[in-house]
Structure formats: C-alpha cells, structure tokens
Chain A
Amino acid sequence: MYEPFLQIIDVSKRFDNVVALDKVNLKIEKSEIFSLLGSSGCGKSTLLRIIAGFEKPDEGRILLEGKDITKLPPYVRPLNIMFQNYALFPHLNVTNNIQFGLKEEKISKEEINHRVNEILNLLELNGLEKRKINEISGGQQQRVALARCLVKKPKLLLLDEPLAALDKQLRVQTQFELVNLQYKLGITFIIVTHDQEEAMSLSDRMAIMKNGEILQVGNPVEIYEKPKDKYIANFIGTANIFNVINENNQIIIKELNYEVKNINNKENYFKCLIRPEKISVKKLENQSDNLNIGVVKEVAYLGSYTKYLIDVNGFEFYSFMQNSLVSDNLQIKWDDKVQISFNETSIYFFND
C-alpha cells in the first residue's frame, strides 16, 4: 500500500486565539526537498516547530513513515532541525558541538569519532575541530550546524531559513552545495523560507502558505506557470494580471482589448496571467495604427535582461526582454511607443 513518508493531517494551532495553522494537510515524499514558502506570519515556522516537536498541535496528527509521532517529545523523534541562527553551543568547540547529539545515543567512542570525522570531511570542516563557535565564519557556522544534524543520520532534516544569515554570494554557492549534499545522502529535507527564489531553486516541490493555510502545492514550474490565484501569481515572480471578458463566444483581454482566438476551453474565466518574460516589445518604426501599442514608462537595464514598464490605455504591466536576443531593444527609451506581442499559449487563465 502506498504510504507517504511524512503526513500532516488536519493540523491546527492557535496562540492566544490567533490562528497560526488552520487544518493543514500535507504529504511529503521520501528523499525530496520540500519547501514551505510564505511571508512572515503565514504559519510556516509554526508548522516546522510542530514537526520538530517543540510545539504540540491543538488538533491533527503527524505521521512519519506511517507512525504517529504527534505526541513524541523532540528528543525521541528521528529527525533534526537546523535553526535560522544555527543555535550552536557557544561553550563547546566545533567537534563537541557535532558530537553533542551522538553522545546522547548509546554509541561506542570509536563509532562517534568515526562518524564525526566522516562528517567533518563531507562538509570540509577539517582543521576547525578545536575552534570555538565565535572563532569561525558565518559560512563555517552554517556547515557546523548542518554537520551537527547530519551526523545523527536523521530520516528527515528540517531547515529553518537555512541561507538567510549568509551574505548574497555565499548564499548562491551554499544553495548548490545543499542540493548536492541532499542528493548524496538521500535525506528528506523540509525547508522553511520566505525567499521565493531560494524556494524555486532548491525544491523539488513546494507549498505556498498564507494565514495558516496551504494555498497550493506543486513543483516550482507548476507554481510559477499555473498559480492557483492572484496572490500566488504575485508572490512568485512578477505577474501581469489582466481581466477577461467573456461575451458572445468571444474571449477578450480587457485592458489590451485583445481577442484570444485559439482557445480550446471556452469556460468562463475572469482573469488571465501573462508573465513579463513572455511579452515582447518592439520599437515602432513608423506610426502604424496597430491595436497593441504601448508607451514605455520605465526602463531598467539589468545586464542579462531589461525590464520595461508598459502603459496601454492607462493600464501598466511589465515586459522582460533578454538583451542577447534583441540588441535593438537597447534603444528603447522612456516615452517610446512600442508594439506588444505574445504567444497565445503563454496566456494562463484562472478565476479569482
């Protein structure tokens, strides 16, 4: 019988009548990197703390490999958490921090030393064994925190904003290292983050949370291309959302006054999304009376691509153009008139 690795069933949690989690259901598969994404106060950290065992849910159950762990205290759960501030023990050196958890298990000294050395090698922490926590860099602290968890060989690793405390350059590098490490070890990762780019690049699947509820679960492509509603569309990347008019068997994008012709599904939709990178703009050579004409309100050159804010009859939206594709576009300036085009397949219809 199919059984998900971690199952969160109808979990609710309140703090002084403030709902932190409202009947959350989630299934997480073995060996996947799963992200909980949402802005602050959405309940993602509370959910993580409930999985770790620091908080007890008011209602609901948590099943790990089919076993109910809802009532187990954190020190018997076969999972570990890496804290946002790492929570390394300041009175212990690197080695003692890493072997802290092993000493709580009934393992021989040789085995402890062997496993600590193994993890020191894996995370390239050799040479730092005797250092105090305040004598090593932020990036090294992050790896010690990771090592302290991984040395326990947990079934599940929870990561609370794992990269938030690192500077930007280190963050990108660490992102790849984290994915490689997970691939090597096959441990299931659950990552809490508010950074959508981080979630997109790290995760196999992700859940978008808001006000204690899960809005959508899916892989990054699904979430980006087919967001369930306006909130998700705006939360992940930049979204151009237009109103759709459906009359006389014609489907019209209201703001652009554009009729969508090749649509199979003639259902009633009220909104549509076109991502900025799917809208291209072209400088008008001569004053034609083409319908799709916009005025450039803002130009932001970002190296590999350029952001344009386009105004069509008072409605503003974005177009992102790859600079390598259209060098002519570099000449587009403020207040220029441009022709707008997009492929009808890149229109995503939804209701909300």
Chain B
Amino acid sequence: MIKNLKKQNVWFVFTPYLWLVLFFFVPLALIFKISISVSEWGMPPYRDLFSLSENGLEINSTLGNYLFIFSDPFYIRSYLNSLSLAFTSTVLCLLIGYPIAFYVAKSKTSTRNILLIMLIIPFWSSFLLRVYAWKVLLQGSGIINSILIHIGLISEPISMLHNHYAVILGVVYTYLPFMILPLYGYLVKFDLNLIDASNDLGAKPLNTFVKVILPLSLPGIVAGSMLVFIPVVGEYIIPEMLGGSDKLYFGKIIWDEFFVNRDWPIASALAMSGIVILVFPIIIFQLMYAKYNFKNE
C-alpha cells in the first residue's frame, strides 16, 4: 500500500508520526536517560551519562533510582492511591455518564444538539479555572457552606476541601465529558427497536439492559473508561488544588521530586515506572478486547 503512495502523500501520512516521535518519544527517551543517571548537585542536577576522564570513557549509569523507589513503600502507596482514585472516578463517571449519554443519544435531534453543546461548553474555559471554581465552592466560606448554614442544616461550616473526596469530586467533574462523548457515539447508533424487540420476546427492562443494551454499548464503555482512567493515574493539578494530606497521589510525588527535592533522576524513574506499569496491562487488555471484538463481528 505504501508503495502506491506518491511522494507528497508519504509526507501527509508520516507528519503525525513525525510529531509523535519529536514530541513524545524523544522527551520520553530523555526522561529515561535521566532516570538511569546519577543524582548530584548542580545544573542540571544529575551527572552526564558519559564523561571523559583520565581513566578514559566513564559510564555514569545506575539502576539505583529504580531500586530506591521500589524499596520505599511511600512511592508504591502513592501509586496505589492514584490507581484507586482512577478506578473510583472511572466507575463514578460511568455510573453518572451512562444515563446522561443514553438520554442525549435518544432525545430529538434539536434537543440533542443543545445538550451536546452544554456538555462541551465547560471546555471553553480553562481547566485550571474550573478546578479553582470548585475550590471556591467547597471552601469554608464558600457558597455550599453558606447555603447549608442559611437553611439551618448546619451551624458551622463543614470542611469539604483538602481531602480525597474533594479530589474524587473534582476528577469526576472534569473527566465526565470524556466518558459521555464516546458512550454517546455508540449509543446514538443504537436501534431502539432492539429494546422493543427484547421486551416483546419476554425480557423485563433489567434483562433487556443487561442482555441487549449493555453488550452493544461495550465498545463505548471501554473507550470512555480508557479516556478517564489513564490520564487520572497521572493527574497532578486536581489533587494539588483540592486534595489534602490524607492521601498522596503519584502525580504530586513526581512534581515534588522534580521541583521540591530537585532529584530529577528519582522523579524520572518514577515517571518511567508509572508509564511501564500502566502500559503493559493496557496493551494486553486492548489485544484481548480486539480479539473479542473480532470474534463478535
């Protein structure tokens, strides 16, 4: 196929790959290089991998950074915290997003477009601002506390900010559209007659959902879950702004290692490990899923 492509078409196809190589693989390689370097005081705060001295070429490489982070339960716990945050928010996004996606997909075309725009409008304002807005809403003198005090439900402001519940709230709020949009994409193609047919054949509403609607929207569920789960594992800003000291998250640990401790090799080793641990299960899952889909087509 590539043989048949004209010269300009080759560029057309490979430009995105070039982009990927330049801005993804090259930085990744740099991070990898730093992760196996030896930490030292200076600028940059690590020793060059190769240096020339009286003894000839010296290779200053170490696996010590990796050994260090895997021997310290602090890092492992923060990674598990991030995984559990990603899992919880993915499930919550799915539970909240599925009915919304279904409703949007099944409303009249005119209403549907308005609803879709409403889903997309938040993206017009900065992500940082939206998270900051939650900070304002949840704080002690914030709107929610004021209203609760005003209607007499509570007498003193309750602390809603700076704990991991606030983080989950922020993450679910921010990532919900990433769940809804792919789900919508599959549900909008769904033939409503199939629901009638299932009912008619004797399946009660719950059985119809489990046996017909759910299996047919599975690709949307998988796509949406991936779009939420993967970025949330490395999420830094939301835990930083809404979270407290009750749970430390992986993204924040990497930030701290880079900018507080100025230990670039450890930070890079953390980033690399995070990617590798996540990448392999996802690749295996995708392969299995592709096989399942192939069997079903």
Given that A91-B216, A104-B207, A132-B297 are contacting pairs, would A83 and B193 also be in contact in the complex, using a CB cutoff of 8 Å?
yes
Q: Which of A53, A85, A101, A132 contacts B191 (CB 8 A)?
A: A85
B216/A148 in contact, CB under 8 A: no
Q: Hey, which chain B residues are within 8 Å of A91, CB to CB?
A: 215-216, 296
Contact A105 B202 (CB under 8 A): yes
A90 touches B216 (CB 8 A): yes
Q: Fill in one digit per residue for B193-223: 1 if any A CB lies within 8 Å of its CB, else 0.
A: 1101111111110010001100110000000
Q: List B contacts of A132 (CB < 8 A).
A: 296-297
Nearest-Cβ distance from residue A97 to partner chain B, whole angstroms: 10
Assess whether A74 is in contact with B200, with CB atoms less than 8 Å apart. yes
Most chain B CB inside 10 Å of its own CB: which residue of A73, A83, A91, A152: A91
Chain B, residues 273-297, CB within 8 Å of chain A (1/0): the string is 0000000000000000000000011
Q: When the two chains form their complex, are residues B216 and A104 in contact, meaning their CB atoms are under 8 A apart?
A: no
Indicate if the CB atoms of A83 and B202 lie closer than 8 Å. Answer: no
| Distance (whole angstroms) from the CB of A148 to the closest CB of chain B | 7
- Cβ distance B103 to chain A, nearest Cβ, rounded Å: 19
Query: Could you say which of A54, A73, A80 contacts B201, with CB atoms under 8 Å apart?
Result: A80
Question: If A87-B191, A104-B207, A132-B297 touch, does A148 touch B201 (CB 8 Å cutoff)?
Answer: yes
How close is B152's CB to chain A, nearest CB, in angstroms?
44
Check B194 against A87 for contact (C-beta < 8 Å): yes
A83 CB contact (under 8 Å) in B196, B203, B216, B297: B196
- Please state if B193 and A85 are interface contacts (CB–CB under 8 Å): yes
Q: A87-B191, A87-B194, A89-B194 are in contact. Are A104 and B201 (CB under 8 A)?
A: yes
Interface residue? A75 (CB, 8 A): yes
Given contacts A87-B193, A104-B207, contact A73 B199 (CB under 8 A): yes
CB < 8 Å neighbour of A100 from B191, B201, B215, B296:
B201
Complex CA–CA separation, A89 to B215 (angstroms): 10
Judge whether B196 and A75 touch: CB under 8 Å: no
Q: Hey, which chain A residues are within 8 Å of B212, CB to CB?
A: 89
Contact of A146 with B by CB under 8 A:
no
User: Considering the chains assembled together, what is the distance between the CA atoms of A88 and B191 in angstroms?
Assistant: 10
A81 contacts the other chain (Cβ, under 8 Å)?
yes
Q: Which of B191, B202, B211 has the most CB of A within 10 A?
A: B202
Give the chain B neighbours of A64 by CB distance below 8 A: none
Tell me the number of A-to-B contacts counted with CB atoms below 8 Å.
Answer: 63
Quick one: closest A residue to B214, CB to CB? A91
Tier of interface size on chain B: 10 to 19
Report how many residues on chain A are interfacial, defined by Cβ distance under 8 Å.
26
Q: Which residue of A lies closest to B204 (CB)?
A: A75
- A52: interface (CB < 8 Å): yes
Q: Which of A87-117 contact B (CB under 8 A)?
A: 87-91, 100-101, 104-105
Which residues 170-206 in B have Cβ within 8 Å of A in the complex? Answer: 191, 193-194, 196-204
A104:B200 contact, CB within 8 angstroms: no
CA distance A77 to B216 in the complex (A): 26
Q: A87-B193, A90-B216 are in contact. Are A152 and B201 (CB under 8 A)?
A: yes
Query: What residue of chain B has the Cβ atom nearest to residue A99's Cβ?
Result: B201
The residues of B that contact A105 with a CB separation of less than 8 Å are 202
- Contact check, A75 vs B199: say whether CB atoms are below 8 A apart: yes
Bound complex: CA A101 to CA B198 (Å): 8
Cβ of A90: which chain B residues have Cβ within 8 Å of it? 216
Nearest A residue to B197 via CB reads A87
**B22 CB → nearest A CB, Å:** 41
> Which listed residue, A54, A85, A152, touches B202 by the CB 8 Å rule?
A152
Tell me, rounded to whole Å, the shortest Cβ–Cβ distance linking B204 to chain A: 6
Contact A81 B194 (CB under 8 A): no
Nearest 4 CB-CB pairings of A with B: A101-B201, A104-B202, A87-B193, A87-B197
Give B contacts to A, CB under 8 Å: 191, 193-194, 196-204, 207, 211-212, 215-216, 296-297
Using a CB–CB distance below 8 Å, which chain A residues touch chain B? Answer: 52-54, 73-77, 80-81, 83, 85, 87-91, 100-101, 104-105, 132, 134, 148-149, 152
Can you list 27 pairs linking A and B with CB atoms under 8 Å apart? A53-B199, A54-B200, A74-B196, A74-B199, A74-B200, A75-B199, A75-B200, A75-B201, A75-B202, A76-B202, A77-B200, A81-B197, A83-B196, A85-B193, A87-B193, A87-B194, A88-B197, A89-B197, A90-B216, A100-B198, A101-B201, A104-B201, A104-B207, A105-B202, A132-B296, A148-B201, A152-B201
